[in-house]
Amino acid sequence: MVSNKLKNSLILLLMSVIWGFAFAAQRLGADVLGPFTFFAFRNYFAVATMLVFFLFIKRDTHGTDPVFSIKLGLLGGLMELVACICQQIGIAYTTAANSSFITATYVIIVPLLYLLLGRKVDRKLWFCVVLELIGLYLLCIKGDFTINKGDILTMVCALVFAIHIVLIARGGRRLDSIIFCATQFIVCALCSSILMLIFERPVNIEGVKTAIIPLMYTGCLSSAFCVTLQVKVQKEVNPTVASLIMCLESVFGAVGGWLILHEILSIKEMIGCLLMFAAIVLSQLPERKKT
């Protein structure tokens, strides 16, 4: 019989696989749809899935505040919109591997943001930051010392995601995860629909039909399904273990790019990916307690 601890770890691993392969799905979507159209329809699928969860899944709402969750969801939705649009536009100009590894740098940025808020940051993190910057240089800077604009947009995405994580953490136990996430997806769907109608007219319906699988994958699985699982499972798993498992998202992003998109990384880019992944994992390891 599988222990509860192992089951939860396997669920987190499944989430990492889904999130990682979502970068390949986004890259496929970017080939046939504009970023606003893709993100709008992705979020409509997410909203529909969250409605099913809301109606049919039992949840513990003790101590939560629905009104507070909606207000924070409105702000979180705007931040999610900026981050994901930057990521979706950026992935059209870079590889799935680059996008996944650069996005994962939010793990490093979050504690740095806490430093700006006056919290103490251990010395190990500064080593991780240096390692991360070296890895980013090897992955993103070309031989003629230029940087891909897709990589720059993805760096902006990682920064906004990090701010978003801090925002959620400050919400604490008052946050109803289902209401918060559903509000976010609705905000993203409506705002990206407005941008779609302004900048991508006429709406590419044929492109939507062509990209229906990437849209359903990223909307139903990567967004709604994984977010719900994450909130449920992380309450029962050691935070360090959870972070280490979810860091594998960047590895599966590179694997998805190789298997689905046939992307090949140079030796220099592979070393950059390894250094970035090492920095991400090291940043999540607990400090040894002094005796």
Per-domain residue ranges of the chain:
4-121+145-269
- Tokens (6 digits) for 107: 């793990």
Residue 239: exposure state from Cβ atoms within 10 A (0-12, 13-18, ≥19): exposed
Count of residues making up the chain: 291
Mean pLDDT by 10 residues, the chain (291 residues): 75 91 95 95 95 79 85 93 94 90 86 81 79 86 79 94 84 81 93 95 91 96 86 66 76 91 90 88 70 52
Give the Cβ contact number of residue 224 at 10 Å.
Answer: 25
Query: In this predicted model, what pLDDT tens digit does every residue of 39-55 receive, in sequence order?
Result: 999 999 999 999 888 88
pTM for the full model? Answer: 0.86
Separation in Å, CA 134 to CA 57, 61, 201, 265, 276? 45, 44, 41, 17, 8
